[in-house]
Structure 1
């Protein structure tokens, strides 16, 4: 080793990471970014709404179990990244809720248009 550099490999470096919590946070952030993308680009959501909604749902499905694993691992690591994992769990549930609301809105829109076209003829 030279000077101020530290070697990050070895058993102590591996034990000190809370990888599930970090995965959960990234999945939650990606899903939240999809919500921002839906609001910022409504034309793209109209064209690719199914993809936005599916990816949002999948991000929620990744964030919840990874967040729970991160909370458990954080407990063994003395509380490291437990707060991040909790935020990821809550965000994951909100992502799933938002994606289900979007699916219900789309189904309601299609059903409403069907009723309108049926009553027009």
Structure 2
């Protein structure tokens, strides 16, 4: 008889690589935000900072979760290691795109400041 305090080893069908799945879902949500920027430019102009912040957060979540997923995938015999790698690469691209958008915002503010200063 087994008691409820004893833990049983998970079978190969039950062993899942949750960090890899978190990484890929976070990366997918970031990609959806990039697509939303292009699909709804007016909303992006009004709420661009929220889009950019969310892209950065999704990228920052995807990177360490992907690394954990790669490590766990090695112990699980290679299960979902490709998903974890995709999450890592997409996470870095999301961080890069969000920092690029931050530079665009800063450049726009400097440009507006320059235009208003030269107009007066």
**Same-fold call, TM cutoff 0.5:** yes
Alpha-carbon separation, structure 2, partners of 1:53 and 1:108: 15
- Report the Cα offset of residue 16 of structure 1: 1.5
Q: Is 2:97 the counterpart of 1:98?
A: yes
Alpha-carbon separation, structure 1, partners of 2:20 and 2:116: 49
- Report the Cα offset of residue 43 of structure 1: 0.4
Identify the residue that residue 81 of structure 1 maps to in structure 2.
Answer: 80
Identify the residue that residue 70 of structure 1 maps to in structure 2.
Answer: 69
Stretches of structure 1 that go unaligned for 5 or more consecutive residues are 1-8
Q: Structure 1 runs of 4+ off > 4 angstroms?
A: none
Identify the residue that residue 58 of structure 2 maps to in structure 1.
Answer: 59
Provide TM-score, normalisation by structure 2: 0.90
- Report the Cα offset of residue 59 of structure 1: 0.1
Identify the residue that residue 120 of structure 1 maps to in structure 2.
Answer: 119
Alpha-carbon separation, structure 2, partners of 1:35 and 1:89: 17
Q: Deviations over 1:3-56 (max 9, x none)?
A: xxxxxx972268610000000000000000000000111100011001000000
Matched positions, count = 113
Provide TM-score, normalisation by structure 1: 0.89
CA-atom RMSD, angstroms? 1.6
Stretches of structure 2 that go unaligned for 5 or more consecutive residues are 1-7
Q: Deviations over 1:58-105 (max 9, x none)?
A: 000100000000000000001000000000000000000000000000
